[in-house]
Amino acid sequence: MVCRQKELGSEYATYLIPRFPWAAGTWFHLGMIPCVIHEDEHLLVVSKPAGWNTHAPGPFAGEGIYDWLKHRDSRWSSLSILHRLDKETSGVLVFGKTPAANRSLTQQFTDRRIRKKYFLLTDRTPPPLPFAVKTPLVRIGERYAGGAGGESAETLFTPIPDGSPDGPPDRSIAASCPGSQGLIVEPLTGRTHQIRVHAAESGFPILGDTLYGGTAAARVFLHAAEISFTHPGTGAAVTFSAPAGFEADPRQALRTALIDPDATNAFRLIHGASDGWPGWFVEKLGDFLLSQSDAPLNARQSVELCRLAKGFASYGAYHKILSRQVRRSTPTLVSPTRVFGTEAPDRFEILENGLRFELSFQEGYSVGLFLDQRDNRRRLLTGQIAAEFPLAAPGTLEARPEILNTFAYTCGFSVCAAAAGARTTSLDLSKKYLEWGQRNFARNGLDPAAHDFIYGDTFDWLRRLAKKGRAFDAIVLDPPTFSQSKEHGAFRAEKDYGRLVTAALPVLKPGGVLLASTNAADWPPEDFLAAVEGAIHGAQRKIRQRHYVPQPPDFPIHRDAPAYLKTVWLKTD
């Protein structure tokens, strides 16, 4: 296998973050999210990628784009859903930001004054165009179908005029599917699966829509291209649109929609079965790719890894064999090995939310940063945990906030808290990782001497800190699923997490925030929450606020790849 790689350089993009003390009540915002098309006082308009729900389908499922946005920024805490797109449909979504906008647009939807235009691709022959379909729709299991007793649905199908800018956006798809063609679709009503049902029942199911008899493809080729309505604030007629992008890899399109490349260049590209590759995981780590599976790369994976490396102009790619016997192996045996391209430096740098972190492929099983905690680290960086849930209410902190990061590893949480103005204490059983953490501080212009780095057993030090009368505004509990120390023996998350929370509470201030997280995949989220909240209630403390989140959207959740990461943020009295 031959892959052309670019030359290794030493320049890295910079992304400056203003640092404001939390006590001042001034929060900063990172760069605009790529999927945002428009924002004003009344509206937030986004281009939703295929493969992302509009909203979370359940309390412990992955966040939909609505949930992810609503809890991400205090400006969006009152965000409201006004219409929806199916998970596999891409395109324009409009969210309301004010009660006035919600009332106006809801009325416009009710009066059918909002016009929507979709684009679909099919490899079947439709009836002569244009034509309209009007039928009542009823739900039958996961599907919908025309049938008596359902709500009326009406759809207009029209041809794409020659030379139209709405013409087929992906001729390579058409070439690989003989007879495929594009159609413009206008849903005159807004029923669930309306376009998909009407297309299928008219004899031309949408390409990729296997639920309704379509030919299997990389995605469902249905896109909400345009929406027009009267602006609720100005009264002007407005139209928002987004290109279909059918030619893009849908997995990469999802990541491109949510990650600002100027601020973050480390994220997951392939997440196992969720992205159609069971048991295989690929991450972009700055200028390198890291592949992971329980076996050497097979031929198909090698080809895909090479394609990804070219697409992201990577210097090289590494592969790591996933093993359950990590503790019995040497760092050399469990470290990733180079597959192709330039050899990575012993230490190299990545960007995450504008901050710099040191990684290494030479230090054993872990490379220095767990990417699935990116959004949680961001919450410490911005002070925004969730809608109506700031890390600290403006003006409530009289002094520089104190953050305790247990099981700190390379101090990623600590760096984010320190960059936001907090004084941090990082606690870990490894001196090597704490030294690594201090280098991460220095990489971001943060003086490690202004913060504490404590080597030792977490349970032992929580007891010592309590005896000294130390108290913290926030505590991070993100232990490994299993660990071993001389002082307290084995720690197993499912068995000992409640005990860990109990040990941490004496050093958490009243009104303080506890971040509890685990990647114990087989531990049901209900049981995890019961263990955490049971320990809090057992200590006679009340929970004021709670926000539960699984892994971020670039670690998508699928029935064949259930959520493994469980995180809850809790404010206690």
Distance of alpha carbon 257 from alpha carbon 453, whole angstroms: 37
**Distance (Å) of CA 359 to CA 355, 373, 437, 439, 478:** 13, 15, 11, 11, 19
Residues catalogued as catalytic: 86
Distance of alpha carbon 335 from alpha carbon 346, whole angstroms: 12
Beta strands in 128-189 (DSSP E): 131-140, 143-146, 151-159, 181-187
The residues pairing with 228 across neighbouring beta strands, listed in sequence order, are: 115, 239
Distance of alpha carbon 309 from alpha carbon 304, whole angstroms: 9
Angle at 298 between CA 297 and CA 303, to 5 degrees: 90
Distance of alpha carbon 131 from alpha carbon 173, whole angstroms: 25
Distance of alpha carbon 89 from alpha carbon 223, whole angstroms: 6
Report helix, strand or coil for 377. helix
Fill in the amino acid letter for 174.
A
Structure tokens at 517: 């997280």
Closest CA to 36 of 87, 89, 75, 86: 75
CB 404, CB 472: distance < 8 Å: yes
What is residue 58's DSSP assignment? Answer: S
CB 311, CB 285: distance < 8 Å: no
Distance of alpha carbon 89 from alpha carbon 73, whole angstroms: 25
Structure tokens at 386: 């969730």
**Distance (Å) of CA 437 to CA 303, 362, 409, 431, 454:** 36, 16, 7, 10, 11
**Distance (Å) of CA 548 to CA 58, 59, 386, 502:** 12, 8, 9, 19
At a CB cut-off of 8 Å and minimum separation 6, what does 78 contact? 97, 98, 387
CB 496, CB 484: distance < 8 Å: no
Angle at 522 between CA 520 and CA 525, to 5 degrees: 75
Render the burial of 152-180: b for 16+ CB within 10 Å, e for the rest: ebbbbbeebeeeeebebbbeebbeebeeb
